[in-house]
Structure 1
Amino acid sequence: MNTHSGKLVIGISSRALFDLEASHAVFETEGREAYCNYQIEHEDDVLEPGVAFGLVRKLLALNDQARERVEVILLSRNSADTGLRVFNSIAHHDLPITRAAFTSGDSPWRYVAAFGADLFLSADPEDVRAALAAGCAAATIVPGYSRPAGQGVLKIAFDGDAVLFSDEAERIFKQHGLAAFTEAESAAAGEPLPGGPFKAFLEALTHIQSEFDPDNCPIRTALVTSRSAPAHERVIRTLRAWHIRIDEALFLGGMAKAQFLQAFGADIFFDDQATHIGPASSLMAAGHVPHGVANETPASS
């Protein structure tokens, strides 16, 4: 949570917030000038919600007259000129988003830290990798299904290793197999895992949750991990040591995650492995976290 403002600050790209696939296709096939002309010609055409729109709506609904708990900031590769359509759409959808950075084609990730963002969501994998390397929680919002932007509890699900936790345990699994992983985790059950890129974001969510009665909290979190007993103990003890609240923990022992995420009702799911993100993206917003051993190329591992 931004220590200066006391708010949870989310940076989001225009392509994650709105459906800009038609516009992006113009850019990909005809170039920047054609894209700019297209956006200006259509600047009065309201953009439809994108994959992360419902998530943003629910995040902003955490604010009330007494307290602004969440701020969403637009970080866009558009120019101010072409970004007018985006701001017109923000106004049409009545989203209280007032701060933005338009970078005219350059990567906007460098403004993540300047705005004090706790999380950066983008459709551009390279921007996400750069933000992660700079120490900010970040995820690539992949094309897929977006839940209707309704009311109700905000539900966020996380993978464990390389997302909430470091990838030290997953690295043992990748290099030496399940038996070695299980043995190592059992031996280290009492030692808290090092934090991963989303630890601070989960801490910020926990801080907001603490302001509400647990029976009527507008946020619910879940850990959805491929771990199973006996590797569960280190995870539980780690969260306890961090004083972090997690509402539901699913230890799936290698089972596919998508149906469990659907049963939880996740608004968004964060995972470091694309094999889990793909199936999930057809059911909810899904953010790929390109961090850790699962995302290293053979030459760099």
Structure 2
Amino acid sequence: MQSSGSKKLTIGISSMALFDLVESNKVFETEGKAAYCAYQIAREDESLNPGVAYPLVKKLLGLNKRLPEASVEVILLSRNSADTGLRVFNSIREHDLDIKRAAFTSGNSPFGYISAFEVDLFLSTSPEDVRKALEVGHAAATILSGKGTDAANDQLRIAFDGDAVIFSDESERIYKEKGLDAFTENEQVSAKEPMSGGPFKSFLSALHNLQSQFAEEISPVRTALVTARSAPAHERVVRTLRSWDIRIDEALFLGGLAKGEFLKSFGADIFFDDQAAHCESAQLHVATGHVPHGVANED
């Protein structure tokens, strides 16, 4: 057990996000659970290929080489059984990933173990599991396929949308319900009132704490806010982050421009956004996590 004074940055990840299990999943969907189990057991010594989140995990674990003590942990949270999960753990060993803890739930959602493992961020290919995690207050995203960034760059770069991700969706609701003019007026009037935190505030804070162990110019982690907001709605964002004492390295106020090319220029290893349309643009350029939270995701 880690002591309360040595809180790590802890990432929970599903096996399908970490490794390419597309073919295996086809067996499950077309032939059923028994055939899937037999398929995985017969191939348990065949290493799985990297999945969409593999480069991100590799960089996250690589941060431990730069720190005096291991400060990042990745935990596998999988719907596999222990039997079928053996192939996943064998692949973890073959890829030399320092992942030691796991929960295998034999088809049930693993989201219930997020709190027990003190997970700061949960990544999965299952929208259902992600929604459950978000509903109980955890940072979580559905990982989408996307182009990887330059693997030669060992700096971890993470980009976030603002409203309904880092911040609550209070301002976005005004935009959705009353339009741009009402949104802009509200942000001007409320410029000095910090917004409430969204589902990713705690994860951003954990990243900030990790960054604080390094001088800014040599930090192995760089963050960016990439938002559709523009002036004058930018002021409330700046003042909110200042009130939280959280550092964001770069802030892009795009005024509605598509985010994909900007994320490519930033070199994001992953980008988190609540709006499906923004995710579709982003995933053409970088790995993307959809955060199904807030007014944009209500039926």
Q: TM-score, normalised by structure 2?
A: 0.96
Task: Describe the superposition over 1:263-298 as per-residue Cα deviations: whole angstroms up to 9, x where unpaired.
Answer: 00000000000101112112221100000000000x
What secondary structure is seen at the aligned counterpart in 2 of 1:34?
Answer: helix
Aligned to 1:296: 298
> How far apart in 2 are the matches of 1:128 and 1:56?
18
> 1:146-295 alignment to 2 at 5 Å?
146-147=148-149, 149-295=151-297
Aligned to 1:55: 56
Q: CA deviation at 1:10?
A: 0.5
Question: Which stretch of the first structure deviates more once superposed, 147-156 or 218-227?
Answer: 147-156
Aligned to 1:35: 36
Question: Which stretch of the first structure deviates more once superposed, 126-135 or 56-65?
Answer: 56-65
> How far apart in 1 are the matches of 2:279 and 2:4?
31
What secondary structure is seen at the aligned counterpart in 2 of 1:140?
Answer: strand
Q: CA deviation at 1:149?
A: 4.8
Equivalent residue letter for 2:89 = F
What secondary structure is seen at the aligned counterpart in 2 of 1:197?
Answer: coil
Aligned to 2:22: 21
| Deviation >2 Å, runs of 4+ | 2-5, 143-151
Question: 5+ residue gaps in structure 1?
Answer: none
> How far apart in 1 are the matches of 2:8 and 2:146?
29
The answer to whether the Cα contact below 8 Å between 1:141 and 1:288 also exists between their aligned partners in 2 is: yes
> How far apart in 2 are the matches of 1:262 and 1:216?
21
Question: 5+ residue gaps in structure 2?
Answer: none
Q: CA deviation at 1:245?
A: 0.2
The number of equivalent residue pairs is 296
Task: Describe the superposition over 1:25-72 as per-residue Cα deviations: whole angstroms up to 9, x where unpaired.
Answer: 111111111111111111111111111101111111111372111000
> How far apart in 2 are the matches of 1:4 and 1:85?
35
Matched, 1:85 2:87: yes
> How far apart in 2 are the matches of 1:190 and 1:144?
37
The change in CA–CA distance for 1:151 and 1:98 in structure 2 (over 3 A counts) is farther
Equivalent residue letter for 1:239 = L
Equivalent residue letter for 1:223 = L
Aligned to 1:96: 98
> How far apart in 2 are the matches of 1:139 and 1:213?
29
Q: CA deviation at 1:145?
A: 2.9
The answer to whether the Cα contact below 8 Å between 1:58 and 1:149 also exists between their aligned partners in 2 is: no
> How far apart in 2 are the matches of 1:280 and 1:23?
27
The change in CA–CA distance for 1:177 and 1:288 in structure 2 (over 3 A counts) is same
> How far apart in 2 are the matches of 1:62 and 1:261?
22
What secondary structure is seen at the aligned counterpart in 1 of 2:163?
Answer: coil
The answer to whether the Cα contact below 8 Å between 2:149 and 2:268 also exists between their aligned partners in 1 is: no
Equivalent residue letter for 1:61 = G
The answer to whether the Cα contact below 8 Å between 1:54 and 1:150 also exists between their aligned partners in 2 is: no
